[in-house]
Amino acid sequence: MAGLAESGSNPDVDLLYDINGLAEDAPRWFDRVMEFVGEYGLVLASVLLVLWCWWSVRRRGGEDAAASVAALVWAPLAAGIAVLVNVPIRDFVARPRPFQDHQGLDVLVTGKDDYSFVSDHATLTMALGVALFLVNRRFGLAGIAVALLEGFCRVYMGVHYPTDVVGGFALGTAVALLLAPVAMAALTPLLTAVERSRWGGPLVRARRAETEQGPVLSEAREQEPAPAAEERDLAA
């Protein structure tokens, strides 16, 4: 399997050269930006999306606040589990980095001497994006878009084959979706207990949301019909 992409006639290698060739023609400053974005920036953007979604869910409140926050807690857990699952996969496939087997690549990041398949960055960002999609489609689509851009950057930087990225997307998606029911079954009761506690309640539901819901619940109770016994007393 180590020689999976050793042939230059392989479409995987051809696409690698096509995308990485853009770095050779780009200004030096742009390559430096892509290096930072691909190595750190997009991972940070994925994390910020999760925090932004949590802030939105917390402010909105509602009866499903605990379940929504539980799903958000699952997002970084899914990403971490997916990266851990990748460790034996990477060692089993043992695919060298593309610049170790192919000449003429413009490698933007040095010191990458571990195996190439699958991409940790692609795995992590896609797991976060898919897990976010389970909570909120708008944030989820943004997270998936960040993951797709991350995959492009990894090939642009010359440190991964396109199939390394596709494999990372598949792994991140599989972990986020397949383990979600088990994770939610464990996390939702936990976050429900946190919501009811004095110290943890604000982490799940903002006080403003609780205050806004209070008058609504009181008004709803006032509008409830009187019990049948009271109606009989009035009729008498």
Q: Classify residue 205: in a domain, yes or no.
A: yes
Helix H segments across 94-179?
Answer: 98-101, 120-135, 137-156, 162-178
Q: Classify residue 167: in a domain, yes or no.
A: yes
For residue 219, name the pLDDT band (cuts at 50, 70, 90): very low
Q: Classify residue 1: in a domain, yes or no.
A: no
Q: Are 213 and 60 contacting, i.e. CB atoms less than 8 angstroms apart?
A: no
Cα–Cα distance measured from residue 62 to residue 66, given in angstroms and rounded to the nearest whole number: 9
Q: What is the CATH number of the domain that holds 161?
A: 1.20.144
Predicted TM-score (pTM) of the model is 0.80
Number of domains in the chain: 1
Coil/strand/helix, residue 182: helix
Range of the domain at 61: 11-235
Q: Classify residue 6: in a domain, yes or no.
A: no
pLDDT at 6 over 50: no
Q: Classify residue 3: in a domain, yes or no.
A: no
Coil/strand/helix, residue 226: coil
Q: Classify residue 174: in a domain, yes or no.
A: yes
Q: Classify residue 5: in a domain, yes or no.
A: no
For residue 192, name the pLDDT band (cuts at 50, 70, 90): confident
Amino acid at 204: V
Q: Classify residue 60: in a domain, yes or no.
A: yes
Quick: pLDDT tens for 53-76.
988 887 776 677 788 888 889 999
